[in-house]
């Protein structure tokens, strides 16, 4: 008994400290508080609480209920003197200070007597002083999720700490809180406090950190980027911009290159760093042969898989089954990828690849971009939604998202584009468009470019082989399109040739070009 006394005193001291810090924040009369539990402990607790099931390989399988993706229509930024002239209000919904204060008071009252899970984590490890993030949740599995995504660390919160409170059981009151539904994601950028209620989708917590980084980093002269990044054998850094489904995670997980990260990065005076410390991969139709590194990582002990369908008797996951959602996801720490190097600051990028999954079959598989063209592609952030992936989508739809991440941009797009333009010009970065979409016709008629062809093209890009090859000028978009890529059929490089009806291609290209022009005009009009 006496031998256990020092341990008991230590635990009581830690408990008292965290409760004191939470009380200072305004959270009091909580139930049991679990502070910085490790992954094995959080796994055990989530299973014991009935929050998750265990897969055959030891991954946690969870369902997020009504919300199986983000709810951008329920996301708000507090509008006050500190933010009024800095925020892109055409893209972000404002919340009045009085509504936020009422929301905070009601959410904190709702938290009383509830068991909570607290994680102290670091984002932006490439900064001289990383960003401290305290995440408070009512679910053990979402605490584990964020422990995978950021770097665990113990620290005493201060005025610079970002605090995120996620209580899925809390329902907002639209008339009292100024929301449009019972779901709310409210960011007070000035006080560095995020309140999330009415949704258990853990991606909201992750993207709240990224939204704050998108606000904070430009003031430090650093460009925050929704992209993946890796490093070649010669130390050459490559960035991969792209919306969901274009191949950001898949193409950056290359066994011949070192992975920096799969989703969020900063680029500043000293180079490129990962904002996070983990990965959050889409796993719908995940195939071991095509993506062995990701397949292994999402099945690892303690990895978190969201909304996948599995056999309850065996725990075997069916990645081809999208019965719950097409947006099935897997979260795991970065070091679950064998060739990843967490926490490094890489050299300035030699290459930027802008990815688009063009479901209209119009864009060439690859094109060289001038700096001006690269800025245009960055500003409009094009890809296409496919039929069947969203309710009501029956034909491919062009999708444009500023800077390849409009939902996470507090500031106007030009603030980020100006930083990108400056960095590209300073470091002579070469920019390319890589289409991972369809050829020979639109979705439903043509076929998707194979992953092997895309990887062959990407290999040539990263080796610098396409910098000097003969090109043709694309008459629709003005891109320089390489006419030769080793290992790729020449016909594929000219999408018009792959269509059986050239006039039909011309009509489709004219329509997409008009959509590009409209998107760019709209974006420039919002600056």
99 is catalytic: no
Query: HSE of 456 in the Cβ direction (CA atoms, 13 Å)?
Result: 15
Residue 151 in 3-state DSSP? strand
The set of long-range contacts for 151-159, using a CB threshold of 8 Å and a minimum separation of 24, is 151/121, 151/122, 151/123, 151/125, 151/277, 151/342, 151/343, 152/36, 152/119, 152/120, 152/121, 152/122, 153/120, 153/121, 153/122, 154/36, 154/120, 155/120, 156/21, 157/21, 157/120, 157/132, 158/132, 159/192
Active-site residue, selected from the candidate residues 79, 134, 257, 329: 329
Assigned token pair, 12: 């009581």
Tokens of 373: 């063209």
Contact 124, 150 (CB under 8 A): no
For this structure, is 228 an active site residue? no
Nearest to 447 by CA among 517, 359, 364, 318: 359
Q: Which one of 248, 257, 348, 385 is the catalytic residue? A: 248
Find the catalytic residue in 15, 244, 427, 494.
244
Residue 79 annotated in active site: no
User: Where do the H-state alpha helices sit in 229-314?
Assistant: 248-252, 292-298
Neighbours of 171 (CB within 10 A): 17
* Closest residue by Cα to residue 72 from 89, 86, 88, 93: 93
For every residue of 61-96, DSSP letters joined together read EE--TT-SS--GGGEEEE-STTTTTTS-TTTSEEE-
Q: Are 179 and 74 in contact (CB under 8 A)?
A: yes
State the Cα torsion 329-331-335-339 to the nearest 10°.
10
Distance CA 461, CA 467 (A): 8
Is residue 450 annotated as a catalytic residue, yes or no? Answer: no
Q: Is 226 a catalytic residue?
A: yes
Q: Residue 191: exposed, middle, or buried by beta-carbon count in 10 A (0-12, 13-18, 19+)?
A: middle
Instruction: From the candidates 226, 257, 368, 496, give the one annotated as an active-site residue.
Output: 226
| Cα end-to-end span (Å), the chain | 68
Cα torsion at 180, 181, 185, 189 (round to 10°)?
30
Neighbours of 133 (CB within 10 A): 29
248 is catalytic: yes
Q: Give the 3-state secondary structure of residue 190.
A: coil
List the catalytic residue out of 68, 249, 351, 401.
249
Evaluate whether 248 touches 296 at the Cβ level (below 8 Å): no
Which phi and psi (to 5°) does residue 18 adopt? -65, -40
Which of 207, 265, 348, 350 is an active site residue?
Answer: 207
- 263 among known catalytic residues: yes
Q: Which of 263, 358, 474, 480 is catalytic?
A: 263
448 catalytically annotated: no
Q: Tokens 């998107």 sit at which residue?
A: 519
User: Nearest-CA neighbor of 436 among 287, 262, 248?
Assistant: 248
Active-site positions? 70, 207, 226, 244, 248-249, 263, 329
């Amino acid at each position: 008994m006496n031998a256990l006394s020092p341990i008991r005193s230590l635990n009581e001291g830690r408990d008292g400290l965290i409760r004191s810090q939470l009380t200072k924040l305004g959270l009091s009369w909580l139930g049991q508080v679990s502070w910085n539990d490790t992954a094995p402990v959080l796994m055990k607790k989530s299973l014991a609480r009935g929050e998750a099931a265990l897969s055959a390989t030891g991954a946690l399988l969870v369902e997020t209920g009504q919300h199986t993706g983000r709810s951008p229509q329920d996301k708000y930024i507090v509008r006050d003197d500190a933010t009024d002239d800095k925020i892109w209000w055409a893209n972000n919904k404002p919340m009045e200070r009085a509504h936020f204060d009422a929301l905070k008071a009601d959410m904190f009252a709702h938290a009383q007597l509830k068991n909570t899970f607290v994680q102290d984590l670091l984002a932006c490890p490439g900064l001289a002083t990383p960003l401290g993030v305290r995440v408070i949740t009512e679910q053990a599995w979402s605490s584990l999720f964020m422990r995978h995504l950021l770097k665990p660390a113990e620290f005493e919160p201060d005025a610079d700490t970002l605090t995120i409170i996620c209580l899925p059981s809390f329902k907002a009151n639209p008339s009292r809180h100024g929301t449009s539904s019972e779901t709310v994601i409210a960011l007070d950028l000035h006080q560095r406090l995020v309140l999330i209620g009415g949704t258990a989708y853990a991606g909201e917590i992750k993207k709240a950190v990224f939204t704050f980084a998108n606000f904070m980093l430009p003031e430090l002269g650093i460009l925050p980027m929704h992209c993946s990044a890796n490093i070649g054998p010669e130390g050459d850094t490559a960035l991969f911009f792209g919306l969901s489904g274009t191949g950001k995670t898949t193409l950056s997980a290359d066994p011949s290159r070192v992975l920096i990260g799969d989703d969020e990065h900063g680029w500043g005076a000293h180079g490129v760093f990962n904002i996070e410390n983990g990965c959050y991969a889409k796993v719908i139709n995940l195939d071991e042969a095509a993506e062995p590194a990701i397949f292994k990582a999402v099945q690892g002990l303690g990895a978190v898989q969201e909304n996948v369908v599995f056999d309850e008797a065996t725990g075997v996951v069916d990645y081809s089954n999208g019965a719950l959602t097409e947006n099935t996801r897997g979260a795991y720490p970065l070091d679950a990828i064998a060739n990843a190097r967490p926490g490094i600051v890489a050299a300035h990028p030699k290459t930027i690849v802008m990815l688009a999954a063009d479901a209209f079959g119009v864009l060439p598989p690859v094109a060289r971009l001038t700096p001006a063209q690269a800025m245009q592609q960055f500003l409009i952030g094009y890809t296409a939604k496919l039929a069947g992936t969203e309710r009501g989508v029956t034909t491919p739809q062009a999708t444009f998202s500023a800077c390849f991440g409009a939902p996470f941009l507090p500031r106007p797009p030009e603030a980020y584009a100006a930083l990108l333009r400056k960095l590209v010009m300073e470091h002579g970065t070469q920019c390319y468009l890589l289409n991972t979409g369809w050829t020979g016709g639109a979705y439903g008629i043509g076929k998707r470019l194979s992953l092997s062809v895309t990887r062959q093209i990407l290999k040539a890009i990263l080796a610098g082989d396409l910098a000097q090859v003969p090109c043709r000028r694309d008459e629709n978009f003005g891109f320089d399109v390489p006419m030769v890529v080793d290992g790729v059929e020449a016909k594929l490089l000219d999408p018009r040739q792959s269509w059986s009806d050239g006039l039909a291609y011309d009509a489709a290209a004219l329509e997409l070009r008009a959509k590009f022009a409209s998107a760019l005009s709209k974006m420039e009009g919002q600056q």
